[in-house]
Each structure stands twice: as C-alpha cells, then as structure tokens.
C-alpha cells in the first residue's frame, strides 16, 4: 500500500504490520468514509506523508496566504501545547505534493493522556481560527474535520487494544493542488 501511495517501504519492525493496517484504515476513513453531516466532504484526502517544508506554491496562493509551512506550524504549536510530541516520519510526501499537504503524527510512546491531548489540540486549532466542520466517533476511532481557508485538517485518534495512533493530516483544496493530487494518483495507479 505504501508503494502505491508513493511512500518508501515501511521499516521491518515488530509493530510494522499493525501500523500499516491502521494506516490503511486511516486512509480509508479520511478518504471518504467520514460519516457525520456531509459537510466538508470532497477530494481533500490524499495519502498521508511527512511534514511539508516552508515555501510558497499552490497552497500559499489558494489558502489566502496560508501555506504548508504555516499549517505545519499551527498544528505543531497546538499539538505540542496540548502535550503531544511529533513522531519522526518513516515516509515522505512526493516533492510535487509538499505545498499542498501536511502530515503530523503523534509519537504514541510519549503520550500521557491521548484523548485529553487530542481534545486540547482541537481546541487550540479552533482558537487559532480553524472551524470544526464534522466529527465522527466510531468504536475506538474519532475523526474530526477542521477548515481554514482552502485547507482542511483531518484530526484522527485511533485506540484499539494496546494500539494508539493520533495524526493530523492537512490538505489544500484549491484547483492547483487538486490537479497535483490527481496527477499523483494517476501516476501511482499506472505504477502497479
């Protein structure tokens, strides 16, 4: 699955299969199985990857001045203020998509109270001008969608058994980014 998404292979660690299965579930949930009111649905869900670098591009123009670096900063500030630490990425976003996508994953080994920190992160984002659009709560999984300009953050908290995964994946929905996401999807479809 990671190869089809344009990401490097997952490391061969004991929990790699569990994490890969959970990541697949997150991708499916983020990609369109969100439930809720139907608000905020659309093509906002490319595959997760690494934190986007600073820079201008499609995201900065369409998001009303908000670019990938700004979104990364806002997520990181809210999450770290709430007690989360970022987990180093084991994959990377294709270079062409970096202006349009941000992924910030919580280091699950350094979390004291993940649910409290998740709620506090969402509150911090709302205080920073993000508008909560929908929230779906399924057994063991909560996904919350927040919008600001042309950016949408899918904040997800998944806990089942001893497994925990919390991530904040943001995508920009302007026409330039939609075109880049479509081209990347087509490229990965043809690579199979």
Q: What is the dihedral of CA 78, 60, 135, 186, to 10 degrees?
A: -130
This prediction has a pTM of 0.68
Q: In whole angstroms, give the CA distance from residue 178 to residue 58.
A: 10
- Element housing 152 (H / E): strand 151-160
Residue 65, pLDDT > 80, answer no
Residue 167, pLDDT > 50, answer yes
Higher pLDDT, 99 or 11: 99
Residue 12, pLDDT > 80, answer no
Q: Which residues contact 132 (CB under 8 A, 6 or more apart)?
A: 122, 126, 144, 145, 146
pLDDT digits (tens, 9 = 90+) for 133-164: 999 998 889 999 999 999 999 999 999 888 99
Q: DSSP string of 12-48?
A: --TTHHHHHHHHHHHHHHHHH---TTSTT-SS--PPP
Q: Are 58 and 180 in contact (CB under 8 A)?
A: yes
Q: Phi, psi (5° rounding) for residue 191? A: -80, -10
């Amino acid at each position: 699955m990671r190869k089809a998404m344009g990401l490097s292979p997952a490391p061969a660690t004991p929990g790699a299969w569990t994490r890969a299965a959970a990541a697949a579930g997150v991708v499916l949930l983020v990609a369109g199985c969100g439930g809720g009111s139907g608000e905020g649905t659309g093509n906002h869900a490319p595959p997760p990857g690494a934190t986007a670098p600073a820079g201008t591009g499609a995201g900065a123009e369409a998001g009303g001045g908000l670019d990938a670096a700004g979104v990364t900063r806002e997520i990181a500030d809210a999450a770290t203020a709430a007690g989360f630490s970022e987990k180093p990425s084991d994959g990377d976003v294709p270079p062409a998509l970096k202006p349009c996508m941000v992924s910030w994953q919580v280091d699950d080994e350094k979390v004291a109270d993940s649910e409290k920190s998740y709620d506090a992160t969402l509150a911090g984002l709302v205080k920073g001008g993000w508008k909560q659009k929908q929230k779906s709560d399924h057994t063991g999984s909560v996904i919350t969608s927040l919008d600001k300009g042309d950016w949408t953050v899918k904040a997800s908290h998944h806990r089942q058994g001893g497994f925990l995964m919390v991530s904040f994946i943001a995508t920009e929905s302007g026409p330039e980014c939609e075109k880049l996401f479509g081209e990347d999807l087509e490229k990965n479809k043809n690579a199979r």
